[in-house]
Amino acid sequence: MGFVMLKTKRALITGVTGQDGSLLSSFLLEKGHEVHGLRLYSDVNNTDRIVKILDRDRFHLHYADLTDGGNICRLLSEIQPDEIYNLAAQSHVKVSFEVPEHTADVNGLGVLRILEAIRTLNMTDKVRFYQASSSEMFGSSAPPQNEDTPFHPCSPYGAAKLYAYWITRTYRESYGLHASNGILFNHESPVRGEEFVTRKITRAVAAIEAGMQDILQIGNLDSRRDWGHARDYVEGMWLMLQQDKPDDYVLAAGEAHSVRDFVTAAFTCMGVMLTWQGHGLKEKGIDQRTGRILVAVDPQFFRPNEVNVLRGDARKAHEKLGWKPRVSFAALVQEMLDADRAVLRGMETDDGFLLAAE
């Protein structure tokens, strides 16, 4: 009886030092892939999230910036990946109003640079491409949003991601590239960037509990997001590239919660019942038992334009990919809060991430 030797798949991940890049790397290494991660050069350490996998045999790091097309072309030619996951981005929506041109360069043209490298290196028939598209592209379109919902972005970030979405489709339709867009709704984890609202909240609540912070200053409490766990979403990315045919898929939990709901849930996890008083800039979150003000609104966190409600309809991914999110909203909040409490105690989290308290 002969053996069939299965070839090790080679994945290239841009944005490997980010939340999704780190979780996807671990996921693919577990699947037996060889993983090549592209990281930005920085003179401060930016590998905290991948520290546990840095020494793995099948994990390799390379410097790259999506604004540098020549280097991307060289790396693709040298690495010859089977799968490319483009996760690199200037990913902060509010920041995109401050650096709109840079955001367009990285999030929009950066994708074109990868696609052109694939085309000019004659890799179109060999490689599969995943583009990290975003629910932010739906902007002001009414929920629930799915693959057929009209796009109406409300930020430079959303507009740049929409260009990237369409150029990905264009290369699929023009050159037959196996290129898929994952239109992902907000997904979080204990390694979510600290400047995004969920992690800002869980870090603040943990710090307030530890007596290290007095109050959480927050922006728009009314905005509603469809929050899921990033661990579930990286599996969805991989599933898209395992399909015979490329396509575009929404990944979402299907429930919208307000920022206020998230704050309330996080304080509830530490046994504090909040009551909300006042409106607009004067709204306060108050500890029902002690009367202490724990949350206040600060307009510096508002954006020039806001996406009010995102709530996804992921039925296509359920039916065609067999993808379903596993982690509930309550479990997500609890896990993130517990991880931030552990960080403050200088402990390792259950996920195995060792994060230094700052």
Site residues for ligand NAP per CB under 6 A: 14-15, 17-21, 40, 42, 46, 64-67, 87-91, 106, 132, 134, 184, 186-187, 193
Residue 223 makes contact with ligand G4F by CB under 6 A: yes
Rounded to whole angstroms, how far apart are CA atoms 285 and 291?
Answer: 10
Stretch that binds ligand G4F, among 98-106, 189-197, 205-213, 334-342 (CB under 6 A): 189-197
Q: How far apart are CA 83 and CA 241, in angstroms?
A: 7
Closest CA to 66 of 109, 32, 122: 109
* 276: contact with ligand G4F by CB under 6 A: no
- Tell which positions 14-73 bind ligand G4F, by CB under 6 A: none
Per CB under 6 A, does 131 bind ligand G4F? no
Residue with the CB atom nearest ligand G4F in the bound state: 219
Angle at 271 between CA 273 and CA 230, to 5 degrees: 100
Residue 88 interacts, among ligand G4F, ligand NAP, none and using kind-specific CB cut-offs from 5 to 8 Å, with: ligand NAP
DSSP state of 6: P
d(CA 121, CA 329): 44
CB 60 within 8 A of CB 13: no
**Residues constituting the chain:** 358
Q: Give the residue with the Cβ less far from ligand G4F, 83 or 136.
A: 136
Q: Is the dihedral of CA 136, 274, 331, 319 positive or negative?
A: negative
> What type of residue sits at position 46?
N
Which CB sits closer to ligand G4F, 164 or 259?
259
Task: Decide which of ligand G4F, ligand NAP, none touches 220; Cβ closer than 5 to 8 Å per partner kind.
Answer: ligand G4F
Smaller CB distance to ligand NAP: residue 184 or 337? 184
The binder of 301, among ligand G4F, ligand NAP, none, by C-beta within 5 to 8 A per type, is: ligand G4F
Contact 232, 316 (CB under 8 A): no
Binning the chain into helix, strand and coil, the percentages to the nearest 5 are: 40, 20, 40
- Residue 310's binding partner out of ligand NAP, ligand G4F, none, with CB under 5 to 8 Å set by partner kind: ligand G4F
Q: Which of 196, 257, 324, 357 binds ligand G4F (CB under 6 A)?
A: 196
Smaller CB separation from ligand NAP, 17 or 220: 17
Instruction: Return all residues near 355 (Cβ < 8 A) that are at least 6 apart.
Output: 48, 190, 191, 339, 343, 349
Give the shortest CB-44-to-ligand NAP separation in angstroms: 9
| DSSP structure string for 71-110 | HHHHHHHHH--SEEEE--S---HHHHHHSHHHHIIIIIIH
Which residue minimizes CB distance to ligand NAP? 18
Q: According to CB under 6 A, which residues from 296 to 355 bind ligand G4F? A: 301, 303, 306, 310
The residue ranges that bind ligand G4F (CB under 6 A) are: 91, 93-94, 134-136, 185-186, 195-197, 200, 218-220, 223, 225, 259, 301, 303, 306, 310
